[in-house]
């Protein structure tokens, strides 16, 4: 299939990400307004994260046995219904903290199903030579609507009326679902998946894990990605503490540092396809993770907010070079019938590592100050290239054309 359908997929993913960004800020604000119990407020956040830990592998298996376009449609349609019902409850003053926990759980489930579905659609829509650019556009679009637009817009709308960001969120999910219906073509994983679809879910997951374990480059890249993801999640988790206690800035300063990361990510999204073409995947990803280590060290040592902002922006650039290279390689190397399951195996590792990284960063910041996680993160990132295979025998594992 030609890449003519990709703009529709890009628009759907981008609009859906707008809803994710508004939800990210609206649910905690609603929770604070409904209860003073910090445990219940934390439970809302935990409920949103649980599906990525518990359902990642089953979601990947479903994406490898069902029509991926239908998965996208029903995931967004269901999220529109959930967030719409919550908006109505908030508007009428009947919302309760338990409803918020349930909504966060359902929305997180929809997000992981949506991610499993679209991750396997890019190879169907885009020829191999154009996939790096396609992945860059997807990453950039999601970054703009989620971080640069969705999060601040959600906060502004919440200030006007608590139900308003939820109402707009409902429209974004509904619009993304409608866009998916415009895609034409067969998005079933293929005839090879028909027999797989009749196999028990557990055996399907085991098949994908065995396949991944037998591919040294992809398996070790998954482990390396876990380390990188743990560092990134940890540094982002303590960024608000770093902003206030190390750089002595208020909420506006924190927002500007988040924006700096997003701007760097956009630049990384634009540059990475050229770097992959010129340097290849392994060199680009190694340069990205070593660059991230240098940036984390720069942030740790930054004597002034301007230097910190520069380091955070550069970290965004190098982080996206690593991420886009990894996604593009997986799409080239993983068969379509396994793509959903293997992609979600990566997602599970990243989510678990991210949760551990955030917790560890909090401990480091508490014990040794807000700069400590950035020093530790830089050291860990320097070790990541050691996990990546680089022998001549394993060179085929880094190719962007499946063999």
Structural domains of the chain, count: 2
Q: What is the pTM of this model?
A: 0.77
> Which of 302, 306, 378, 339 has the alpha carbon at shortest distance from 62?
339
- Residue 130, CA distances (Å) to 122, 136, 240, 400 in order: 10, 10, 38, 11
52 and 94, same structural domain?
Answer: yes
Q: How many CB atoms lie within 10 A of CB 93?
A: 8
The Cα 230–Cα 156 span in angstroms is: 30
pLDDT in tens, the chain (403 residues): 445 688 999 999 899 888 888 887 788 888 888 888 867 877 887 788 888 888 888 888 888 888 888 999 999 999 999 999 999 999 999 999 999 999 999 999 998 999 888 877 888 888 888 888 888 888 888 878 887 788 788 888 888 999 999 999 999 999 999 999 988 777 777 554 454 455 677 788 888 889 999 988 899 999 999 999 999 988 988 887 899 899 998 877 887 888 899 899 989 989 999 999 899 999 999 999 999 999 999 999 999 999 999 999 999 999 999 999 998 898 888 887 888 888 888 988 988 898 888 889 988 998 999 999 999 999 999 999 999 876 545 555 666 655 4
Q: How many CB atoms lie within 10 A of CB 301?
A: 14
The Cα 265–Cα 230 span in angstroms is: 18
224 and 128, same structural domain?
Answer: no
The DSSP string of 183-207 is --S--S--THHHHHHHS-HHHHHHH
295 and 158, same structural domain?
Answer: no
What range defines the domain where residue 83 resides? 3-180
Pull the structure tokens for residue 131: 């996939």
Find the CATH number of the domain harbouring 27.
1.20.1250.20
**Angle of the 56-63 helix axis to the 336-368 helix axis, nearest 10:** 160
| Residue 75 and residue 67 in contact, taking contact as beta carbons nearer than 8 Å | no
The Cα 144–Cα 15 span in angstroms is: 10
169 and 234, same structural domain?
Answer: no
219 and 93, same structural domain?
Answer: no
């Amino acid at each position: 299939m030609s890449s003519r359908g990709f703009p529709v997929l890009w628009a759907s993913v981008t609009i859906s990400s707008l809803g994710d960004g508004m939800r990210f800020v609206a649910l905690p604000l609603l929770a604070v307004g409904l209860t003073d119990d910090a445990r219940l407020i934390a439970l809302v956040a935990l409920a949103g994260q649980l599906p990525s830990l518990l359902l990642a592998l089953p979601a990947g298996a479903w994406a490898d046995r069902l029509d991926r376009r239908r998965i996208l449609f029903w995931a967004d349609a269901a999220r529109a219904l959930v967030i719409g019902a919550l908006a109505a409850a908030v508007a009428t003053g009947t919302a309760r903290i338990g409803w918020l926990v349930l909504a966060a759980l359902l929305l997180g489930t929809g997000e992981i199903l949506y991610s499993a579905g679209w991750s396997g659609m890019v190879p169907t829509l885009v020829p191999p030579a154009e996939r790096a650019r396609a992945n860059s556009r997807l990453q950039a679009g999601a970054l703009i609507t989620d971080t640069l637009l969705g999060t601040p817009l959600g906060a502004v709308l919440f200030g006007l009326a608590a139900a308003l960001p939820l109402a707009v969120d409902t429209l974004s999910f509904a619009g993304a679902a409608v866009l998916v219906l415009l895609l034409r073509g067969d998005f079933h994983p293929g005839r090879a998946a028909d027999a797989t679809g009749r196999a028990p879910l557990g055996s399907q997951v085991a098949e994908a894990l065995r396949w991944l374990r037998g591919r040294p480059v992809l398996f070790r890249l998954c482990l390396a990605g876990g380390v990188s993801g743990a560092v990134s999640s940890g540094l982002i988790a303590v960024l608000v503490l770093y902003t206030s206690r190390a750089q002595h800035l208020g909420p506006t300063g924190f927002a500007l540092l988040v924006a700096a990361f997003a701007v760097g990510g956009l630049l990384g999204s634009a540059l990475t396809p050229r770097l992959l073409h010129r340097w290849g995947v392994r060199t680009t990803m190694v340069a990205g993770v070593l660059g991230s280590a240098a940036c984390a060290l720069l942030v740790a040592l930054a004597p002034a907010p301007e230097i910190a902002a520069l380091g955070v922006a550069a970290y965004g650039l190098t982080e996206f070079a690593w991420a886009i290279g990894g996604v593009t390689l997986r799409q080239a190397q993983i068969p379509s019938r396994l793509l959903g399951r293997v992609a979600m195996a990566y997602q599970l590792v990243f989510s678990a590592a991210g949760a551990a990284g955030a917790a560890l960063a909090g401990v480091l910041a508490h014990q040794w100050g807000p700069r400590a996680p950035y020093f530790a993160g830089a050291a860990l990132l320097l070790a990541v290239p050691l996990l990546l295979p680089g022998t001549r025998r394993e060179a085929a594992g880094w190719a962007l054309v499946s063999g």
